[in-house]
Amino acid sequence: MVDFSLTDEQKNLRELAHDFAAREIRPVAWELDRDSTWPQAIIDKAHEVGLMNTHLPEQYGGPGLDYLDGCIIEEELSWGCSGVQTSLGANGLASAPVMLGGSEDVKREFAEELVAEPKLASFCLTEPDAGSDVSGMRTRAVRKGDKYVINGSKCFITNGSYADWFVVYAKTDPEAGHRGISAFLVRRDDTVIVDKKEDKLGQRASNTATITFNETEVDARYLLGEENKGFKLAMMVLDRTRPGVAAMATGIARAAFEFACDYSKERVQFGVPIAMHQAIQFMIADMATKVHLSRLAAWNSAVLLDQGKRNTLESSHAKRFAADSAMEVTTDAVQVYGGYGFIKDYPVEKLMRDAKIMQLYEGTSQIQRLVIARETLLPRRIEEPATATA
Ligand SMILES: Cc1cc2nc3c(=O)[nH]c(=O)nc-3n(C[C@H](O)[C@H](O)[C@H](O)COP(=O)(O)OP(=O)(O)OC[C@H]3O[C@@H](n4cnc5c(N)ncnc54)[C@H](O)[C@@H]3O)c2cc1C
């Protein structure tokens, strides 16, 4: 059955997330952006009302929401401010490899801490010389008895300055390319050093940092999944998180679209509201279509996961389309505002800056196209259970 009508529970969830975004995030979003302020108060409140760690299973005290529920929440919170949502949602990115690859004890220890307090976890894959091509990573993990010792630096790590936990990808077999990567859950200690906080174009309320692991010792029980299977684990994670990024992009685009609609009805040029000019109407129409299709693609890729199906192709379709659409819609929103759109006193230039990251993190739009091309030219059956792309 194809049916995207929401259940009463999902509508309530959307209302909760929307009210939270309207009350707690929107009123301060432009101020947080201007000063690049860390939104700790919002994180504390979001944790309190249950809008964080949404996918942590009920058996560990989490809400156990499904992927479609997650998309509904992420669109609303990103409508409020996608920088804040990136800060709130990064726990989901770090939790996924723990829930997929951790032992029962490790999962429980990690999840129960995140549920009890507004603690943060970061996902540490990218390095200065290893972005789209993670096989070039230099971080090493060397087994010594019942421990691994990790050395290396990760860059662009969301929430890195504030995280209590890190999922760290490191080479355990340096000669084996992407087949020599393993994933570890690392608790912050004084061998984990924050080297640099980035000053960013957009999503300035989120924290992005360079993190160095200096002789960091990790008990072997914190190895996630099998040794040297970390790349496969990372790809499985991204299949699960890209629907949420697509939903975030939808939220940004929707915010820009709504501002543009309102402004086009108020701004008068040539004796009529600019909404009366067909050129503006067509821009608004294209924006509306892109928001609508971005949401459908995000939901479709999430529903496949909820049904236990592999969604690699669909999550790349959704992430690529929604990210590129968010960039187009926010750019058009600036166009609808004319010169005022370029001025910081008006809301849309922030959205255009925020949208840009959607085309970059969790796989650039070019990398999504590589996945789409591979999945299209060498298709695998959609009925297969969810597995990695590697
Ligand atoms: C704000 C922010 C937050 C982030 N958060 C995290 C995080 O929490 N954890 C984490 O691990 N990483 C994070 N990242 C890193 C992000 O995922 C990478 O920046 C991204 O994967 C791209 O890597 P790169 O920047 O090294 O670009 P590169 O890989 O160097 O790419 C440069 C350009 O080349 C293109 N390109 C590369 N290879 C190909 C190819 N084969 N074919 C066609 N085009 C190609 C890319 O699309 C891009 O346009 C974050 C980044 C930012 C900016």
- What pLDDT does residue 381 have? 61
- What pLDDT does residue 389 have? 36
DSSP 8-class letter at 381: -
pLDDT digits (tens, 9 = 90+) for 111-138: 999 999 999 999 999 999 999 999 999 9
Low-confidence ranges of the chain (pLDDT < 70): 1, 381-390
- What pLDDT does residue 382 have? 53
Cβ atoms of residues 61 and 111 within 8 Å:
yes
Answer yes or no: is the C-beta of 364 below 6 A from any ligand 1 atom: yes
Quote the tokens at residue 319. 């992430």
Give the Å distance between the CA of 130 and the centre of ligand 1.
8
Atom of ligand 1 nearest to the CA of 86: 3
Q: Which of 75, 109, 362, 375 is catalytic?
A: 362
DSSP sequence for 318-375: HHHHHHHHHHHHHHHHHHHHGGGGGSTTSSHHHHHHHHHGGGTTTS-HHHHHHHHHHH
- What pLDDT does residue 383 have? 52
- What pLDDT does residue 26 have? 98
Atom of ligand 1 nearest to the CA of 154: 11
Who's near 184: CB < 8 A, 6+ residues apart?
Answer: 141, 148, 150, 167, 168, 170, 218, 222, 223, 224
Give the Å distance between the CA of 127 and the centre of ligand 1.
10
Report helix angle 312-337 to 230-266, nearest 10: 30
- What pLDDT does residue 2 have? 78
pLDDT digits (tens, 9 = 90+) for 38-70: 999 999 999 999 999 999 999 999 999 999 999
Diameter of the chain measured on Cα atoms: 79
pTM metric for this prediction? 0.96
Of 295, 378, 77, 54, nearest to 205 by C-alpha is: 77
Q: Report the nearest-CA residue for atom 16 of ligand 1.
A: 361
